[in-house]
Structure 1
Amino acid sequence: VYRAFSASLKRNPGNVDSLEKIPFLPVEFFKEHRIYAAIGEPEMVFTSTGTGGMGTSRHYVASLSLYRESFLRGFRLFYGDPSRYCILGLLPSYLERTGSSLVYMVDQLIRLSRHPRSGFFLYNQEELAEVLIELERKNQPALLLGVTFALLDFAEQYPVKLRNTIVMETGGMKGRRKELIRNEVHEILCRQFSIEAVHSEYGMTELLSQAYSRGEGVFSTPPWMRIFVRDPYDPLHLLEPGKTGGIDIIDLANVWSCPFIATGDLGLLHAGGTFEVLGRMDQAEIRGCSLMVL
């Protein structure tokens, strides 16, 4: 599929002599085609939520061990070993279906944390509040990783004062709540939890690596993942840092599917390689993985 796509753009290994000339496969191809380059059957097929009503992406994963190595190295790079934390997953919309790469990742992190209180929470918010209060009392470092709408619901019902807990949002509203810009979400969560910053995870079904933000919505990537921003009116032209456009991603962990992905997300690239996710491109499907800009 990627070979045919590249050929349609008159790009081939002979004339691609720089990163800027690499063709980035539109992420929508994962809905319409089997993007798979390995020999043999995949070990897992991850699927998207399909919240935009435009179909479900399917990512055929040849090696789960490669996925584990990617997300564990990435997590350790930014947060250290999972065993440092009690890890709490508030991911109701993901837990209610099968095939979520995010649930797989968080489940592995929970197992590696080895803390007796680590685990998933569906709608048992009162229990989650009790666990957080207990962890705070014991000065136990914790990571509360939740889908955005569920974190907002929980924060409104149980405004627990957090001092030793990292709050990390991902996944957007999934159609459950009115869309808010990221700053509004973070302002609410910071106020309700008495914290200074909300962390974020940026990932998607079609990628096997993740970027992380420790606050202010500025994301960093692991060394095997790189972000570019393309011209919205000329997708083959990449913009300089400081310009706003569509987010293109190189993810070398995608070696058996496609490492070069053109997303529908609108972003701003900074000179040092960090980036911001500003919303969705015009005409792009509104999906759960990032917040809209209104």
Structure 2
Amino acid sequence: MITSTDIFTITNQKQFEKIALKVFRFQYENNPVYHEFCDFLKTDVQKVKSIIQIPFLPIQFFKSHSVVSNSNPVQATFTSSGTTGMTTSKHIVTDVSMYEESYRKGFSQFYGNIENYVILALLPSYLEREGSSLIYMVEDLIQLSNHSESGFYLNNHDELIKKLIDLDQAGQNVILIGVTYALLDLIEKSSFKLQNTIIMETGGMKGKRKEMIREELHEQLCHGFGVQAIHSEYGMTELLSQAYSLGEGVFECPSWMQILIRDTEDALSYVTEGKTGGINVIDLANINSCSFIATQDLGKKNANGTFEVLGRFDNSDIRGCNLMVL
């Protein structure tokens, strides 16, 4: 039996591989969707001896199937955002404590003690719908910060502007977590010279503005907020873990999460470091659904294990996810 202790105390690559292979076998036996997918690929489970031999489930399966690895009662169902008429992803969670432990430990690994920060959240498009895993996480982080000034903001930009300036001038450490378009709206209303504040964007224009390349976006945000770097969070509905970038769009995973870069022409093979391909995520916290997910994001991996997100596959030509055949 694989426990949360096994997963969240990984300290080296050998340990990671050993637990990942155990999780793979567990999910093959207990997740009917993943089992069928592996069988379709004619995977000989006994011959899978390294993580690069593990099949990665295309992320679109979360839109059409219940991807679950046990029969325990459902504790939460996280859903993706989507424009009207779009099919959204559903992540069925049978043990929400795994999610809580993952994001709490992940935050601590990159930022230290949460009680050292005021957490301000500007996440309008997420707040305005049900089932957001991001809102679940940020709400908990706000509570854990144990600070009366922490909280969510919707359209009350003037109040947020005043609070940001007051807290920053008082020398208080602040993290402002914001959806990209809302952060841009904020710096159009006011310019800042923040000394003690981390700006963390969670990505996405949500159809409110034209998409921008990261360099241009971060340059605008750095200028508007008066900060040296923009932090980013890389997570998604289908995962229970997040990678973080402390600047320059270079992401690092917590010790129980890794990414591989698959070939865009051949989804079952991998490209070398520094080359662009599709992002495959291993998220061992996802033990109760699927820990091996082929995303629709494009990226590249660096020699030190960090990675960059470079865009998304064009939906009309998702060659890297050409395993959607079941």
Alignment counterpart, residue 277 of structure 1, candidates 301, 309, 320? 309
In structure 1, the partner of 2:122 is 90
Displacement of 1:282 after TM fit?
2.9
Sequence identity (%): 57
Alignment counterpart, residue 45 of structure 1, candidates 70, 74, 77? 77
Answer whether contact 1:52 1:285 (CA < 8 A) is retained: no
Aligned partners of 1:110, 1:12: CA distance in 2, in Å? 46
Amino acid of the structure 2 residue aligned with 1:99: G
Question: Residue 35 and residue 227 in structure 1: after superposition, are their counterparts in 2 closer, same or farther (change >3 A)?
Answer: same
Aligned partners of 1:182, 1:110: CA distance in 2, in Å? 27
Q: Determine helix, strand or coil for the equivalent of 2:171.
A: coil
Displacement of 1:37 after TM fit?
1.2
Question: Residue 60 and residue 12 in structure 1: after superposition, are their counterparts in 2 closer, same or farther (change >3 A)?
Answer: farther
**TM-score for both structures, normalised by structure 1:** 0.95
Question: Residue 102 and residue 184 in structure 1: after superposition, are their counterparts in 2 closer, same or farther (change >3 A)?
Answer: same
In structure 2, the partner of 1:137 is 169
Aligned partners of 2:226, 2:44: CA distance in 1, in Å? 53
In structure 1, the partner of 2:3 is none
Displacement of 1:52 after TM fit?
8.5
Structure 1: runs of 5+ lacking an equivalent: 287-294
Aligned partners of 2:316, 2:121: CA distance in 1, in Å? 29
Answer whether contact 1:86 1:113 (CA < 8 A) is retained: yes
Structure 2: runs of 5+ lacking an equivalent: 1-32, 319-326
Output aligned runs, 1:162-201, within 5 Å: 162-201=194-233
Per-residue Cα deviation, 1:192-213 (whole angstroms, up to 9, x for no partner)? 1111100000000000000000
In structure 2, the partner of 1:148 is 180
Aligned length: 286
Aligned partners of 2:154, 2:179: CA distance in 1, in Å? 11
Displacement of 1:225 after TM fit?
0.2
In structure 1, the partner of 2:190 is 158
Displacement of 1:263 after TM fit?
0.1
**TM-score for both structures, normalised by structure 2:** 0.86
In structure 2, the partner of 1:106 is 138
Aligned partners of 2:244, 2:128: CA distance in 1, in Å? 25
Alignment counterpart, residue 241 of structure 1, candidates 256, 270, 273? 273
Per-residue Cα deviation, 1:31-62 (whole angstroms, up to 9, x for no partner)? 00000112222100000002485310000011
Aligned partners of 1:105, 1:66: CA distance in 2, in Å? 12
Amino acid of the structure 1 residue aligned with 2:245: S
Aligned partners of 1:9, 1:168: CA distance in 2, in Å? 39
